[in-house]
Structure 1
Amino acid sequence: MASTTDTKNYKFNHSMIRVKDPKESVKFYEFLGMKLLKKLEFPEAKFDLYFLGYDSPTAVSGGKNIWDREGLIELTHNHGTESDPNYTINNGNVEPFRGFGHTCISVDNIQAACKRIEDAGYRFQKKLTDGRMRHIAFALDPDGYWVEIVGQKALEETEAVETTDLETYRMNHTMIRVKDAEKSLKFYQEVLGMTLLRTNANEKGGFNLYFLGYSDVPAPGQGTADREGLLELTWNYGTEKNEAFSYHDGNKGPQGFGHICVSVDSLDAACARLESLNVSWKKRLTDGRMKNVAFVLDPDGYWVEIVQNEQFTGEDNF
């Protein structure tokens, strides 16, 4: 394994959410065009992990090794929850447990894509025709997590199109709410090496959106809808001034969202670099039984998993 690390080699690999019934959840995400790429079973600990992502010949990460990808979703299933009538998921959007907001897919023809989802019987938090923002929709997965749907083309361009091609879809971004935008941007840029790609300031609404990723800044006039593996930070003005204010990290009860994950070129060197930057650790490599993963905490206490990209070692750590 390399003794040095370069953040230019890092990738925003996946976002983890807990699910009640993996059969229903896998079915939903496969309906959105994703493919089950890997399943990890831990019978002694009574949980399974399902990794899904876009894998068509035109997908950005299509055909790559699992940890050499961006834009994956990891579903965590704790055995028995599917038959427990009292088990519920925190989707991150209900007070007082807000924090994680949504995942987002970008599609070719948004009107046709939304109609296909609705015709299949899946529910929506927001349809295209709801509210003032007619260019985005939010579907609900089987656990009530919000999945934003955005178009890769102008809304007017796809208005009369009745077909949609799943092979063009992207797992575009994951959104989390942050208390202090300055602290969070510093962490994700200076510590984890991401690039700020786009800022949407909504002064009338009292919030800003920041889109970051491990990629080049788009050219003027070029959007980010064709990308995958981006992180959206949502900052509501004034939260940083309230000492008592905090967001729910998804890992305290009630649970739901678990973490985001960055894959790196050298796990040992990357963790040594993070140590030198005085990060807050949830789990160092040497902690516990799993010596192949580490977890750092961002300024809001969200967990960020660090794993080895097998492209640099030729070996799968899992």
Structure 2
Amino acid sequence: MVEIDRSFIINHTCLRIKDPKSIDFWTKKLGMKLIATIPFDSFTLYMLNYETEENKHLNWAAREGVLELCYNHGGMEEINNGNGEKDKGFGHVCVSVDNIEEAQEQFLKNGVRFQKKLSDGRQHNIAFALSDYENYWVELIENGINKEEGKTNVSSYRFNHTMVRVKDPERSLNFYRSLGMKLFSKKDFPEAKFSLYFLGFDHDPNFKEGTMDFAVQSKRESVLELTHNWGTEKDNEFKGYHNGNSNDNGEIQGYGHICISCKDPAKYCKELETKYGSKLDWSVKFNQGKAVKGIAFIRDPDTYSIEIISHDLMSDRMGKL
């Protein structure tokens, strides 16, 4: 049995960056805070978060809604934002805000570029910003937290979700459920022939899968969104999506992984291995990594990576910026 206690969270999403200056987009333009810097020989990790009264006393690894920016020393010539014709897979990250109209205006004043403004297209309740340097898509939705007319307050902002495209939603759902996640909600778009599945950890024993209201979901952090374009699961010609990490055939990297954090990752990984055995695809088993000990990496059916860590991992890096 795989025991999922209340410590389980989706902690962070990792994106590669061309230059440490990329941090300024997320902090100065979108209002995140740089909470930890973790240097290694060949790369440096920058941990960012919308800091709140509830999470500011926690280590970065014990928080939800963390963005990990990975800078490979010397930089990368190209970054794959996941939405081009080549190497498509990862789609976007999402920030939810109190007042989306006012937030968009504030972002425009801050010099943020937009792939889609609220007035564009059919959906006028969402927008897509573009990050500096890498052109990652950042979806904007409204959470309504302490909403005031004509105002926006960064204290209400949440790093809400991360979207990746999947070939077969049933295989993906079974996999993430095996890790202990639950389906929050599902949205079907018959005219465009795609569906969205939103997942994460919920520790309410009375929660029923698929019933989470958008008003509740939009206030959460670290939700995983799976996008399924209808028919891919039956298309033998479809080669699948790029996982963001492979460069074997001239593929371009960008997206890295999401991360599960809990109090006892060693126990969790052992329980997963005991129950599922060879059915699971481990790229790094627990505590066997070269650069960092005390972590593991597992791959989902589309070969996207999921890191597994403890709440106290590298707690000595908090505040060392």
TM tier, shorter chain? 0.7 to 0.9
Q: Tell me the matched-pair count.
A: 299
Instruction: Give, as a single letter, the amino acid of the residue that structure 1 aligns with 2:83.
Output: N
**Deviation digits for residues 119-156 of structure 1, max 9, x if unmatched?**
222211101111000000000011100000001139xx
Q: Could you say which residue in structure 2 is the equivalent of 1:212?
A: 199
Q: Could you say which residue in structure 1 is the equivalent of 2:268?
A: 270
> Structure 1 77/221 Cα, relative in aligned 2: closer, same or farther at 3 Å?
closer
| Residues 84-95 of structure 1 mapped to structure 2, 5 A cutoff | 87-95=77-85
- How many Å apart are 1:243 and its aligned residue? 3.0
Match of 2:221 among 215, 223, 228: 228
**Contiguous gaps of at least 5 residues in structure 2:** none
Distance 2:264 2:65 in 1: 20
Q: Could you say which residue in structure 1 is the equivalent of 2:51?
A: 55
Distance 1:300 1:55 in 2: 32
Percent identical residues: 43
> Structure 1 234/221 Cα, relative in aligned 2: closer, same or farther at 3 Å?
closer
Q: Could you say which residue in structure 2 is the equivalent of 1:247?
A: 241
Q: Could you say which residue in structure 1 is the equivalent of 2:188?
A: 201
Q: Could you say which residue in structure 2 is the equivalent of 1:301?
A: 303
**Deviation digits for residues 218-264 of structure 1, max 9, x if unmatched?**
66674411111100010111101123420000001300001111012
> Structure 1 272/244 Cα, relative in aligned 2: closer, same or farther at 3 Å?
farther
Instruction: Give, as a single letter, the amino acid of the residue that structure 1 aligns with 2:143.
Output: Q
Relative to the length of structure 2, the TM-score reads: 0.87
Q: Secondary structure at the residue paired with 2:217? A: coil
Q: Secondary structure at the residue paired with 2:80? A: coil
What is the aligned-residue RMSD (CA, Å)? 2.3
Q: Is the 8 A contact 1:54 1:170 kept in 2?
A: yes
**Contiguous gaps of at least 5 residues in structure 1:** none
Q: Could you say which residue in structure 2 is the equivalent of 1:39?
A: 37
- How many Å apart are 1:5 and its aligned residue? 4.7
| Residues 73-84 of structure 1 mapped to structure 2, 5 A cutoff | 73-81=67-75
> Structure 1 27/271 Cα, relative in aligned 2: closer, same or farther at 3 Å?
same
Q: Secondary structure at the residue paired with 1:67? A: helix
| Residues 279-318 of structure 1 mapped to structure 2, 5 A cutoff | 279-289=280-290, 290-310=292-312, 316=315
Q: Could you say which residue in structure 2 is the equivalent of 1:176?
A: 164
Distance 1:293 1:286 in 2: 5
- How many Å apart are 1:205 and its aligned residue? 1.2
Distance 2:13 2:305 in 1: 10
The yes-or-no answer on 1:96 pairing with 2:86 is yes
Distance 1:63 1:204 in 2: 46
Q: Is the 8 A contact 2:17 2:70 kept in 1?
A: yes
Q: Is the 8 A contact 1:99 1:247 kept in 2?
A: yes
Q: Secondary structure at the residue paired with 1:9? A: coil
**Deviation digits for residues 142-175 of structure 1, max 9, x if unmatched?**
1100000001139xx97x9332100010001000
Instruction: Give, as a single letter, the amino acid of the residue that structure 1 aligns with 2:179.
Output: L
Q: Which stretches of structure 1, 4 residues or longer, exceed 6 Å deviation after superposition?
A: none
Q: Secondary structure at the residue paired with 2:270? A: helix
Distance 2:92 2:56 in 1: 23
Instruction: Give, as a single letter, the amino acid of the residue that structure 2 aligns with 1:199.
Output: K
Q: Secondary structure at the residue paired with 1:95? A: coil
Instruction: Give, as a single letter, the amino acid of the residue that structure 2 aligns with 1:295.
Output: F
